[in-house]
Structure 1
Amino acid sequence: MARAIQSLRKCPLFQTQNLLHHFQFQHQITNPISCSAPIFSPQSSTPTQIRNSSYVAEMRKSAINDNMLRLLRNEIQYELDHSTHQQQPPAEINGFKVFERRGEKWISLEKQFGENEEIKVEVTMFDGSIRVPNEGEKKGLPGQDIQLHISMIVSIFRKNSKQVLEFICSAWPDTLAITKLFVRQQAKVPQQPYTGPKFRELDDELQNSLYDFLEERGIDDSLCTFLHKYVNYKEDAEYIRWMKSVKSVMEK
């Protein structure tokens, strides 16, 4: 033993800390029963500790996933039980066929008008709102109602014409409001087209005649009422569909 220690002291590669480790190792070999110093550094983890740590991490991850899935299932069931718009509205209104674009924020409507016109309407989901006085506020009591807003793009195509007459409209719960009217090319749209003046700046009689033009084609206040009911249904359906998709991914 003394010769081993003396030999190590002469070796320049070993410092005091290394010498101590070698001494402990030699002492363990020659006195395996009396050795109390561990071979592993106190900072090292034993295989058992590593397995326990991994087990705890997996258990925690599983508990988080289970809790999230439970909350998603509860929310889905709550929406199914309490939704007031579960029944899908009719797929036709004022001669328009309605196409729901699942997973998107748009609804499409299409119809033929006369022999040479095709009308397409693109409708957003709710994209704005305003506060309006309610009956209580009119009587001097506090309170306001909220009216939700839907944007519409009405495109009118005519046979033998390369141009499209396009209306930008706002659909309120029971009122149609035209905000813009312009003509564009079917094939190529300029980057910065001239879209004419603001609709409200047009002559009043011309404004009224344009409302009559749309009303004749079934784009009127009754269509706005229908669209608000349909978008209410779509909002609920898309929310439930989204939660089910998240749940499906979490379950895999």
Structure 2
Amino acid sequence: MGCLMKSLKRTCVLFIISKQNKSLFTSNLNPISQTTRRNYVSEMRKSAFEGNVLRLLRNEIQYELEHSPPKQPITKFNSFTVDERSGEQWIRLNRKFGEKEDIKLEVTMFDGSIPVSKGGVVTGEEVQLPITLIVNITKGDGEVLEIMCSAWPDTIEITKLFVREKNKTSGQPYAGPGFKELDDELQNSLYEFLEERGIDDQLAIFLHEYMRNKEKSEFIRWMQTVKSYIEK
């Protein structure tokens, strides 16, 4: 009898353990549990991906700040005041000339670079593309003389010029012929006209240095903005 009771107890214990294991196995097959597990794995992968992106961004930001940090932007150049706004691709320069003229320059950042070639062979070095420079000269409330230029690393090149209404917001004014189609003497006189107002080769050199520095500042700011967004 004693042996029989022990055998029955053992059987009951094994049955209960078997039922518990079956219940646990069944719960693991529950669609809700599987969805939870998939979501957890997905979150883990997302976290690992974001962690890797953040690590790369922090390393790049640290490298830029330690090896070639941007300089404090200059606010004046000769007679021009410089208006630089963070996050924008343009800067603006302003000055007065004489008693009547207000001069405003709008300048873009670099659009890219082109390879240098010597004798048809690419050297591997790169040179910055010219910077777009728009010169606006106004006299009181009258019309605006607008001169389109390209600022190369050490010179200013005029491409177009025309007169437009100051407050006109619609329509496209006639831009005249291409600058190089004009008489050579007239071209030279227009370059002298700009040089007298401080729009010359020295300005081109300044703009290229300024924009290289701004490009670096904007790149670091962009990385910091992306990093902050991912960290939220």
Q: Mark the runs of 5 or more structure 2 residues left unpaired by the alignment.
A: 1-14
Residue 156 (structure 2) aligned to one of 176, 181, 191: 176
| Gaps in structure 1 of 5+ consecutive residues | 1-31
Q: Relative to 1, partners in 2 of residues 1:190 and 1:45: Cα closer, same or farther, differing over 3 Å?
A: closer
1:46 to 1:96, Cα distance in 2 relative to 1, 3 A: closer
> How much does 1:130 deviate?
4.8
Deviations along 1:145-185, one digit per CA (max 9) or x if unpaired, are 54321000000010252x00010000000011000010000
Q: Give yes or no for contact 1:152–1:168 (8 Å, CA) kept in 2.
A: yes
Matched residue type, 1:115: E
> Corresponding residue for 1:199?
179
- Write the distance in 1 (CA, Å) between the matches of 2:48 and 2:56: 12
Query: Given the alignment, which residue of 27, 40, 49 partners 1:55?
Result: 40
Question: Mapping of 1:48-87 within 5 angstroms?
Answer: 49-83=34-68, 86-87=70-71
> Pick from 130, 135, 139: which aligns with 1:158?
139
Q: How does 1:1-252 map to 2 (within 5 A)?
A: 44-45=30-31, 47=33, 49-83=34-68, 86-127=70-111, 129-133=113-117, 137=118, 143=123, 145-148=125-128, 149-161=130-142, 163-252=143-232
Secondary structure in 2 aligned to 1:55?
helix
Q: Quote the Cα distance in structure 2 between the aligned partners of 1:41 and 1:144.
A: 64
TM-score, normalisation: structure 1: 0.75
CA RMSD in angstroms, aligned pairs only: 2.8
Cα shift readout 1:171-201 (whole Å, capped 9, x = no counterpart): 0000110000100001114523211111111
Q: Is the 8 A contact 2:141 2:166 kept in 1?
A: no
TM score, norm. by length of structure 2: 0.81
Superposition deviation, residue 55 in structure 1: 2.4
Q: Is the alpha carbon distance of 1:130 and 1:96 closer, same or farther for their aligned partners in structure 2, counting shifts above 3 Å?
A: same
Change (3 A) 1:55 1:131: closer
Deviation at 1:218, TM superposition (A): 0.5
The 1:40/1:129 distance shift into structure 2, 3 A limit, reads: closer
